[in-house]
């Protein structure tokens, strides 16, 4: 597959899973207790909800867990940028397929215009602009 | 199987067959129409291509309804008689036997194939779009979502409530006027519901025609892009600024490794050419096209009603006499 950097599909994230990932991206490796402290005020959730959420993220291979004393510490395996890059790549692939697509992009990310064509088009626009300025001046 | 279920199944299978055949006819005729259509202004071309894409489905629905509705089934069908139902106006007759079992099975298979074609991609793309929007930040001043990303991209996602998503890199790497051009282009997509339009056009194309309907789909996609370029140029006041923005955005795209698989269907040259050329007047308003295409579908269905009716009955007769 041509998408070498984004060879894995971005797994679906629920609201709670996304919030946990946001904590891990912001604070780095954390225990479920740490994450709970960050989220409990805003969401009023229990520690066991947080624990099951990070376990789910671990199964989705979005976080790595390592034993730290009696608890596990969780670390995000994908940065926010990497996850976004996967999502965008998948959407672009969806949009460029012949199947029904639910979006469009300003430039066709899948079309592959080569550099020399691009330079020729830029020169064409620059020449036109110059010619129009000359006409306006005259 | 009850007579009503058999009749419904027959209607569905008939509609599917008419849809497929008229789609094949359109795919055959489209290359002949293409040269004239590509001369139209982008907005008009976009409307006309959307209408053409919908025509086979509209025709199939119109013909099937006219064939089966009690009030209209006598229209356009020459009087003829059948054993058991006499010589009055009638819908195509299902002659019983294996056909009354086969038809519902075929109808269910067609429905299942249709749903499988629509629902999984829609669900998958919707999930990805929701996830992308959830990870973005709302920029109220620009009325769009901003993604903190190093890659240059601009997307309009969603069918019914399309939303514009820009990457931070796009705003940082493009000149402000170029960024404004990209934003105006995407907002034009959102306002015109281009995602929905292209989605419906892709759905309306019969599936079994492998690749035959693609030229129309590709031209529709190109026309939508050009129409949005024109709207952005009009709002910005300079057509060449939009051309510059397109070329700069294209030049800042991710490296080939990071791109989606190349399809070799770039419309960039045509888009730049259209922006360099003087604007063309739009001559085909959408309401006129909707009325025209509906009238064409109904008219063609009425004209072909007798042929359709007897063809359906002949096919059934043929199936019935098979060993």
Residue B149's nearest CA partner among A52, A119, A34, A83 is: A83
The yes-or-no verdict on residue A50 having pLDDT over 70 is yes
Measure in Å the smallest separation between the Cα of A108 and chain B Cα atoms.
7
Reported as a single tens digit per residue, the pLDDT across B251-282 is 886 654 444 444 445 688 999 999 999 988 88
A95 vs B248, more confident: B248
Q: B267–A111: do the CB atoms touch at under 8 Å? A: yes
Architecture in CATH of A1-111: Orthogonal Bundle (1.10)
Q: How many whole angstroms separate alpha carbon B75 and alpha carbon B59?
A: 16
ipTM of the complex: 0.72
Residue B184 pLDDT: 95
Reported as a single tens digit per residue, the pLDDT across B289-321 is 888 888 988 888 888 888 888 887 777 777 666
* Domain regions of chain B by residue span: 3-321
Token code pair at residue A93: 């692939």
Instruction: Give yes or no for A116 touching B (CB within 8 A).
Output: no
A105 vs B130, more confident: B130
Bridge partners for A31 per DSSP: A73
Chain B interface, mutation test: which of A5, A26, A102, most B Cβ atoms within 10 Å? Answer: A102
Q: Which residues contact A9 (CB under 8 A, 6 or more apart)?
A: A86, A90
Reported as a single tens digit per residue, the pLDDT across A22-41 is 999 999 999 999 999 888 76
Reported as a single tens digit per residue, the pLDDT across B37-82 is 988 999 999 999 999 998 998 999 888 888 877 666 666 777 777 7
Task: Supply the DSSP string of B299-322, one letter for each residue.
Answer: HHHHHTHHHHHHHHHHHHHHHHH-
Q: B156–A104: do the CB atoms touch at under 8 Å? A: yes
The yes-or-no verdict on residue A111 having pLDDT over 60 is no
Q: B247–A122: do the CB atoms touch at under 8 Å? A: yes
* Minimal Cβ distance to A104: which of B149, B195, B250: B195
For chain B positions 160-219, those within 8 Å of chain A (CB to CB) are: 162, 167, 182, 185-186, 189, 194-195, 198-199, 202-203, 214, 217
Average pLDDT over residues B85-107: 72
* Domain regions of chain A by residue span: 1-111
Q: B260–A92: do the CB atoms touch at under 8 Å? A: yes
Distances (CA, A) of B130 to B1, B13, B33, B108, B141: 44, 36, 39, 32, 21
Token look-up 């008219």 returns B299
Measure in Å the smallest separation between the Cα of B136 and chain A Cα atoms.
9
Q: B202–A83: do the CB atoms touch at under 8 Å? A: no
Residue A9 pLDDT: 67
- Chain A CB contacts of B266 under 8 Å are 108, 111-113
Q: How many whole angstroms separate alpha carbon A124 and alpha carbon A118?
A: 10
């Amino acid at each position: 597959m041509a998408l070498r950097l984004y060879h894995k599909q971005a797994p679906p994230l629920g609201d709670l899973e996304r919030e946990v990932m946001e904590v891990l991206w912001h604070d780095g490796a954390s225990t479920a207790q740490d994450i709970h402290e960050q989220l409990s005020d805003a969401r009023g959730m229990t520690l066991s909800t947080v624990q099951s959420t990070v376990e789910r993220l671990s199964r989705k291979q979005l976080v790595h867990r390592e034993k730290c004393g009696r608890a596990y510490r969780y670390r995000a395996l994908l940065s926010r940028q990497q996850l976004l890059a996967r999502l965008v790549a998948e959407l672009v692939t969806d949009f460029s397929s012949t199947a029904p697509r639910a979006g469009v992009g300003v430039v066709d990310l899948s079309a592959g215009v080569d550099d020399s064509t691009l330079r020729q088009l830029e020169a064409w626009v620059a020449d036109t602009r110059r010619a129009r300025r000359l006409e306006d001046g005259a | 199987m009850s007579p009503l279920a058999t009749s419904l199944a027959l209607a569905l299978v008939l509609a599917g067959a008419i849809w497929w055949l008229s789609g094949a006819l359109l795919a055959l005729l489209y290359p002949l129409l293409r040269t004239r259509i590509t001369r139209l202004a982008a907005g008009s071309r976009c409307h006309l291509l959307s209408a053409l894409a919908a025509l086979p489905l509209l025709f199939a629905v119109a013909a099937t309804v006219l064939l089966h509705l009690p009030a209209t089934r006598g229209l356009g069908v020459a009087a003829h008689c059948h054993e058991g139902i006499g010589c009055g106006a009638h819908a195509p007759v299902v002659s019983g036997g294996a056909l009354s079992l086969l038809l519902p099975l075929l109808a269910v298979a067609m429905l299942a194939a249709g749903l499988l074609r629509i629902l999984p991609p829609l669900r998958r793309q919707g999930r990805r779009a929701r996830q992308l929007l959830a990870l973005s930040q709302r920029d109220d001043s620009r009325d769009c979502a901003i993604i903190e990303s190093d890659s240059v991209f601009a997307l309009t996602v969603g069918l019914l409530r399309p939303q514009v998503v820009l990457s931070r890199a796009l705003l940082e790497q493009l000149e402000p006027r170029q960024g404004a051009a990209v934003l105006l282009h995407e907002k034009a997509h959102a306002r015109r519901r281009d995602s929905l339009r292209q989605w419906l056009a892709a759905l309306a194309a019969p599936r079994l025609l492998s690749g035959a309907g693609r030229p129309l789909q590709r031209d529709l996609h190109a026309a939508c892009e050009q129409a949005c370029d024109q709207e952005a140029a009009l709002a910005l006041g300079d057509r060449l600024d939009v051309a510059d923005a397109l070329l700069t955005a294209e030049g800042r795209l991710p490296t080939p490794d990071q791109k989606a698989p190349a399809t070799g269907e770039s419309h960039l040259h045509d888009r730049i050419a259209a922006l360099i050329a003087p604007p063309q007047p739009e001559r085909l308003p959408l309401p006129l096209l909707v009325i025209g295409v509906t009238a064409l579908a109904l008219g063609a269905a009425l004209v072909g009603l007798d042929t359709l009716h007897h063809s359906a009955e002949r096919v059934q007769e043929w199936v019935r006499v098979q060993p």
